Amino acid sequence: MKEVYTIFSPHNPLLISKIGGKHSDKLKKSITAWEHIRQKIYNIDPQKIIIIMPEYSKFNNISINQCESYSINFKDFGDLSAGFEVMGDMDFSTKLKYFLRKNDFPVSIFSDSEINYKSFVPFYFLNQYHVFSKGPDKDIKQESKNTEFIIINCSASDLSYHLKFGKLLFDFIKKSDEKIVVIACGDFAKEIKKEDRKSIEELLKLFVDSIKNKKYNDFLKYTNQFENGNYLGIKPFAVISNHLLEQKLTPNILSIDIEFKEIYLTCEFE
């Protein structure tokens, strides 16, 4: 297995100026972090980019959105003028499905070429890999690339379930000699109430300190707090945590933004 560049990132579409408008100005640190990630990924030029998203309510299991291509547009945000497509990887996702089922891990498969807004952030910033684009947005470029995307959604199940999935996912990735990037997407905390802000910021500090100290599974000490709150990024992080620990990857905290009653944390691991 080649080295896997791994990222933990917010997913909120306010990071996209086309959607966030003036609100995006308050998330400059997160946006700058993604511009850094984008350049790193361009330098790697991977064959596969795997995006781990927060839970998808339609399924109790981990679910894979299996399509030949994915379409992103902004019509739900009132903009019909722009959109783009990226390539999916049917072969990789099919083999992953059979590998998981062979290991008695249930997985759901669906096909939705028009992706959920929760996946917009990595797709938008990685515009070098768009195979089709339209609209006047200067940030959207069109170049010929062979990189293919795999979208995986977390489930309503607990953190231990996602840890098990993460181990199987990276066991599968180890069989590949391709260059692969894994992006775990999810805002650290959402809809923060005023009376809860202090305790949530304390939890954030514990989480960040554990990352800085490479104690990537220490977040499990606070399972009850995470499972009883609105922490959409924790399940995606659980998927990558054992890999970070086993490979002894070095963290780089790129940004922390606390805005709009939410917390956005961006970190890379190499």
pLDDT of res. 141? 54
Per-residue pLDDT at 139 exceeds 70: no
Q: Which two tokens stand for residue 125?
A: 């910033």
pLDDT grade, residue 82 (50/70/90)?
A: low
pLDDT grade, residue 144 (50/70/90)?
A: low
Burial class (CB in 10 A: 0-12, 13-18, 19+), 138: exposed
Neighbours of 75 (CB within 10 A): 11
Contact 228, 189 (CB under 8 A): no
What is the pTM for the complete model shown?
A: 0.92
pLDDT one-digit tens code per residue, 193-232: 888 889 899 999 999 999 999 999 999 999 999 888 889 9
Q: Where are the beta strands (DSSP E) in the chain?
A: 5-9, 48-53, 62-65, 69-73, 83-87, 107-110, 132-134, 148-153, 180-185, 251-259, 262-269
Neighbours of 45 (CB within 10 A): 13
pLDDT one-digit tens code per residue, 171-184: 999 999 899 999 99
* 218 phi, psi to nearest 5 deg: -65, -20
Amino acid code (one letter) for 143: E
Total domains, the chain = 1
Domain of residue 187: give its range.
5-269
Q: CATH number, domain at 186? A: 3.40.830.10
